[in-house]
Amino acid sequence: MTNADDRFITVSLDKRGVSCTARLLSDRAPITCDAVWNALPLGGDVYHAKYARNEIYALVPPFAPQEPPLENPTVTPIPGDLCYFTFSDTQLGTSSYGYEDDAKHQGRTTVVDLALFYERNNLLINGDAGWVPGIVWGTVVDGLDRMADACQDLWRAGALGESLNFRRA
């Protein structure tokens, strides 16, 4: 159910020409939603998760005046969840993650991960760090099927040259 105060964004894989629409969960994660909304547009090189399973994400510089608290947390995101994670540079510095030496986030003391989960059976546990709770700040309300197909293609065909972007709808 929507109301007049709802805010919507477009989440897109630009090279593939695919997008979906998500509603911000301002009632459950108000601080995170305000931070994201005020910083839009956001995006960058897309990655497909190795550990979490059915997740694509972009790593962006911090944009909030202060990092949001862990509001509306999960370690079991469902299809259509948009999640926000904050990492230190050392947390993403091991070679097991597969980031190239010249990845745009390298050298930042804080890295923000904006993620889209496109299928079920996700578990946010990492072999190096343990549980990695995320903030659920949005939910896809239209186009998840198209986005899921594109995410599967990303997994199989590769992510190089593709970007994940978040814009006001």
Domains defined for the chain, CATH in brackets: 8-98+105-168 (2.40.100.20)
Question: Model's pTM, two decimal places?
Answer: 0.91
Torsion of the alpha carbons at 161, 166, 168 and 169, rounded to the nearest 10: 70
Looking at the predicted structure, is the pLDDT value of residue 110 above 60?
Answer: yes
83-107 pLDDT, tens digit each: 999 988 777 666 656 555 555 556 6
- H or E element that contains 39: helix 30-39
What mean pLDDT value characterizes the chain?
A: 91
- H or E element that contains 109: none
Asked if 122 contacts 148 with a C-beta cutoff of 8 angstroms, the reply is no
27-67 pLDDT, tens digit each: 999 999 999 999 999 999 999 988 789 999 999 999 999 99
DSSP state of 154: H
| Per-residue pLDDT, 163 | 97
Cβ contacts of residue 154 below 8 Å, gap of 6+? Answer: 13, 16, 46, 48, 56, 162
- The residue ranges of DSSP E strands in 5-97, in sequence order, are 8-13, 18-24, 42-48, 55-60, 73-74, 81-88
Three-state secondary structure call for residue 120 = coil
Looking at the predicted structure, is the pLDDT value of residue 132 above 80?
Answer: yes
| Per-residue pLDDT, 168 | 98
Q: Write down how long the chain is.
A: 169
